[in-house]
Structure 1
Amino acid sequence: MTKTILFLNGPNLNLLGKRQVEIYGDVTLEQIENDCRALGDSLGLAVEFRQSNHEGGLVDMIHEARGTRDGIIINPGAYSHTSVAILDALNTFEAPVLEVHISNIHKREAFRHHSYVSQRAEGVMAGFGTEGYQLALRRMATLLAE
């Protein structure tokens, strides 16, 4: 049975490729999804991508994933630094969680150095550009195989 990985993307990530390209690059979220789907196929994993600009929407998606998805890879965007609600929702998810940030949040403004989500994540990819999504998917495949 194929395992399904849910990629969750937070606020403003729908504007990738158009917003602050000097920080986030010119790759769109659709391109990232296509690359991850292709990699997922080669790893024997199904990939589902979702995005919301709303904290509650992300919480609802995490709740829906309970018992139906085998892992979550999340780029919570700015909610990384503010959302105890997303952390609490992730704490109800029984499978592995990985966190992705396109930029290196530790080289940016001080308020970005802390992530609530990191307290739940098995690992964090930060500063690898959009390639971090694929690195996280490879790591998730390893975690699920263990």
Structure 2
Amino acid sequence: MRPLLRAALLLLAVGPVLTGCISSFEVPGPEETTGSVAVPSVPSTPVPSPSPFTGTVTIRDFSFEPGDFTAGPGAVVTVTNTGTAAHSLTAQDGSFDTGPIAPGATAALTAPTQPGAYSYLCAFHHFMRGILTVA
């Protein structure tokens, strides 16, 4: 018998059994009890949103610090190069670019206005990477 036909027949034979098992499974609600033990309800805790980035991205030893950061839409981000070679902070999709930053120099970039995650790199050293999250 062909493997595909064998698999289809097996699915037809076992499928109803699995469906019955899944449909009869119920999870106790917050006020229900299981035996003599009460199932406590879990309070929902709001997850804080990341605060917008207000610092400076520092290029040091061929890395961005911080490499991943969050900025508000249209926020101006300062980038300082403390290394000994020229660097840039360039979006892979071309939405922002500091241009070349000489050693000891500072540049600014404007974050995109659309929320999302933007991968970036150094145009001179492609192994230098990070993510700017606009939120």
Tell me the TM-score normalised to structure 1 length: 0.24
Structure with greater helix percent: 1
Could you say which structure has the greater relative contact order, defined with CA pairs below 8 angstroms and 6 or more residues apart? 1
Tell me the TM-score normalised to structure 2 length: 0.25
Question: Which of the pair has more CA radius of gyration?
Answer: 2
Structure with greater strand percent: 2
